[in-house]
Amino acid sequence: MTSFFARMFRQGRPCHLRRAAAAVCAVLAMLPLSGCPLNEVAFGPLTNSDLRLFQSRLVYEVAGETTDAVVADFNRDGRPDVAAVNPDTKNVSVLIADDAGGFKAAVNYALLDAPSALHAADLNGDGAPDLVVTVEPLSHVAVLIAKGDGAFEAAVPVNLVSGSVPRGVAVADVTGDGRPDVVTADSGSDTVTVLAGLGGASFEAPVRVACGAGPRWVTAADVDGDGQPDIITANRDSDNLSLLMNTGAGLAGAVGLPCGTAPRMAAAGDLNGDGLPDLVVSNTGSADLSILLNQGGGAFAPELRQPLGQPPTRLVLGDFNRDGKTDLAALLFDAGTGGSLGVFAFFQGDGAWGFGAPKFFGGGWQPFGLVAADMNRDGMLDLVTADAGMKAVAVVRGRGNGGFETDQRFAVGNTPRAAVVDDFNGDGKADLVVANMDSNNLMLLTGDGAGGFTRQPAALPVFGKPRSLVSGDLNGDGKPDLVASILEQKALTVYLGTGNGLFILASPVTVLSPGSIYMSQVRSMALADLNGDGKLDLVTGNSNADTVSVMLGKGNGTFEPPNEMKAANYPIGLTLADINRDGKLDIVFISRNDPDQANDAAEPRVVRMLGNGDGTFDTASIQRYTTGAGPSDLAVGDYSGGGVPDAATVHTANDSIFRLDGSGDGKFKAGARLNVGESPVSVLLADLGGDGLADLITTHLDGYAVVRYSRGGGQFEAPRHFLAGDGATTSVLRDVNGDGVPDLIILNKGTSDVSVLLGKR
């Protein structure tokens, strides 16, 4: 599996991304583009590598496809460190906290075969946590003794009975002699193995106790309050838990406890405030949680269920919102594919036994391990994930209120392709409307003013595949309306907003001249007052007809007949901007070959047409500027400085953008190519740093956005990366929580949701 770091940079050069929002490489090597006459440029170094523009996960590379992690202070400096197991590379990666709030480069310790789980505990009493790692193929545990300075001795194998196949591990003083013992869940023999500790990496001979079938997890908790740790296993194949009570002379025979199907793990914590550890079980087969309330003496109340809709795997308990009640966070998998959703769900505890409605957050690409710990020592619980897809561990900082510094996810329809932000229900808070191409609808998500959204149950049908979407007050009633382009329709669909979150279907907008034989296929459009009459006008790029149309607004939600202009081939990425600085809006768009026509060899260009200020445009003023092959999106903004509009186009197949610097006279200079990482699909230009320069934001199909600060003069800093969902397509930049800082909204077609990354400054 290609790592997160390698997929971002296909050059294959050595590059250590120390954090998702920090420096990756000071200068990127440029790939040649055959036949391209444009210059290629490199990026400068970061001026502030610790600056995070959006709330996002902090990502740290490890040696392989990590599946589990632990947090402990391995060098006894008071700062939490991380260790992670990597089955594919047969080693353990240890990351020691640095002085800047991050981690030093991982140090790797070899094992004899693939590890599956690990636990940190001080086995030799020197105050430094050691590591115990299960090695399934060899039916042993590997013990790594800490040196106390963050380093470890070489792994010492400790054999279990042949065929045990240990899947889970816990450490507790089961024998009551004051020394830590190791307990494993053995999926190959349906047993629990106890390795009584003798100190350090020395143990007595393994002792087996039978449990349920196919145990995948083991945990220790004093469920009866006698001061001795009892053992609980989650048994995937027998669909139950096994409770092995500690008698003081050993473990009693297993007692079965009910749960859902295919339990993955069980966590112990006090859910109802009675001081007794309750049990929460993640059931991958039944896609729910089982909750077992402790009644004391080793007895539990009848099982309670919390449905989730998608299978949970790893879960953690803790007070994430500091209200004194136990909350829960769980990684979710896709019930259909069995793969990771890259999402974790947060549930606020009610202090009894139940949990509130889940909030969903981005968890990475393929997170398998999940740990709760206060990583930055601010008194608020954070999360650490072990992500096999990224070959990294990620720190998700908690906000102390049930929120997390990562993208919050909100489910929408299939293939979200366009979005607009406005106050559609009149409560003064930013709402979101998303066009879902393969659901054939528009979906309203009402905002809470803090960056959260609630999907409204009734979507707007659009009788086809919506491709582009704009909003504005079309009828002068002070309420935002919608215009949507439908690929199968010749006309645009208009919805007039009522101001309470509802819409009325209005007269369609014709964009092609009478008698046109084409479907318009409007893939981009813009709303603005082109003639200064105070009414919004509409401009469309008609890809199938190779034309651009202008429809002047009447101020009542309808438009004048179209002024259709033959402009260029297959126009997309249309935007309005005052390119020549005469106070009149001009049209800028991409002209390219039709990707559905194999014999269309039109040269890709950026086209600029000057506006006359009266709603008409001067076709004689058209200028065309060469760009790279296959442009898919366009943005205009002043990244060079001096108030001169510049332009940038994105090129997915070539992993690049092309920069067209404005010359100040309404023209653009020759372009320059910038490599921006794998599969960019959209581009934004916006001033994120508050210095008057437009910064470069690209969204990438593999599920992340990249920000490059402008230094002026057409120069950009090295990238800062921010993770989103799979199949990220379009981005919108707006302040959705009212703090005056731009927030980033990313549409994810692979996960059928949107990522909201709140801005930071």
pLDDT at residue 29, as a whole number:
26
pLDDT at residue 51, as a whole number:
54
Residue 12: band (very low, low, confident or very high) from pLDDT cuts 50, 70, 90: very low
The residue type of 288 is D
Indicate the range of 28-37, 86-95, 490-499 predicted with least confidence. 28-37
**Which of helix, strand or coil describes residue 8?**
helix
Taking only the tens place, the pLDDT of each residue in 234-278 is 999 999 999 999 999 899 999 999 999 999 999 999 999 999 999
pLDDT at residue 40, as a whole number:
54
**Which of helix, strand or coil describes residue 646?**
strand
Q: How many CB atoms lie within 10 A of CB 504?
A: 11
pLDDT at residue 37, as a whole number:
39
| Contacts of range 42-47, beta carbons closer than 8 Å, 24 or more positions apart | 43/674, 43/708, 43/715, 43/716, 43/717, 43/718, 43/719, 44/711, 44/715, 44/716, 44/717, 44/718, 45/717, 45/718, 46/22, 46/709, 46/717, 46/718, 46/720, 47/709, 47/717
Q: How far is CA 149 from the centre of its chain?
A: 34
Q: How many CB atoms lie within 10 A of CB 532?
A: 11
Indicate the range of 120-129, 335-344, 392-401 predicted with least confidence. 335-344
Is residue 472 within 8 Å of 460, Cβ to Cβ?
Answer: no
Indicate the range of 32-41, 548-557, 662-671, 676-685 predicted with least confidence. 32-41
* Number of domains present in the structure of the chain: 1
Query: Is pLDDT above 50 for 284?
Result: yes
Q: Is residue 284 part of a domain?
A: yes
Q: Single out the residue of 419, 389, 331, 335 nearest to residue 726, CA to CA.
A: 389
Q: Is residue 332 part of a domain?
A: yes
Please state the rounded mean pLDDT for residues 351-380.
93
pLDDT at residue 22, as a whole number:
30
Q: Single out the residue of 146, 85, 74 nearest to residue 118, CA to CA.
A: 85
Is residue 40 within 8 Å of 28, Cβ to Cβ?
Answer: no
- Whole-number mean pLDDT of the chain? 92
Tokens of 654: 């070539």
Query: Is pLDDT above 60 for 711?
Result: yes
pLDDT at residue 34, as a whole number:
27
Q: Is residue 559 part of a domain?
A: no
**SS3 for 316-356, per residue?**
EEECCCCCCCCEEEEEEECCCCCCEEEEEEEECECCCCCEC
Residue 623: enclosing H or E segment and its boundaries?
A: strand 617-626
CATH number, domain with residue 370: 2.115.10.20
Domain carrying residue 293: 259-405
pLDDT at residue 44, as a whole number:
63
The residue type of 571 is P
Residue 43: band (very low, low, confident or very high) from pLDDT cuts 50, 70, 90: low
Give the span between the Cα atoms of 241 and 346, in whole angstroms: 24
Strands lying side by side in the sheet with 140-144: 115-121, 130-135, 140-144, 156-159
Q: How far is CA 380 from the centre of its chain?
A: 21
Residue 46: band (very low, low, confident or very high) from pLDDT cuts 50, 70, 90: low
Q: Is residue 748 part of a domain?
A: no
The residue type of 333 is F
Query: Is pLDDT above 90 for 567?
Result: no
Is residue 86 within 8 Å of 115, Cβ to Cβ?
Answer: yes
pTM: 0.86
Give the span between the Cα atoms of 303 and 288, in whole angstroms: 12
Query: Is pLDDT above 70 for 702?
Result: yes
The residue type of 92 is V
pLDDT at residue 10, as a whole number:
38
Query: Is pLDDT above 70 for 342?
Result: yes
Q: Is residue 695 part of a domain?
A: no
Q: Which carries the bigger pLDDT value, residue 179 or residue 36?
A: 179
pLDDT at residue 489, as a whole number:
87
Query: Is pLDDT above 80 for 287?
Result: yes
Residue 122: band (very low, low, confident or very high) from pLDDT cuts 50, 70, 90: very high
Residue 5: band (very low, low, confident or very high) from pLDDT cuts 50, 70, 90: low
pLDDT at residue 596, as a whole number:
78
Query: Is pLDDT above 70 for 552?
Result: yes
pLDDT at residue 41, as a whole number:
56
Indicate the range of 161-170, 452-461, 549-558 predicted with least confidence. 452-461
Question: Percentage of residues in the chain with pLDDT exceeding 70?
Answer: 93
Query: Is pLDDT above 80 for 373?
Result: yes
Q: Is residue 310 part of a domain?
A: yes
Using only C-alpha atoms, what is the Rg of the chain? 29
Give the span between the Cα atoms of 727 and 751, in whole angstroms: 7
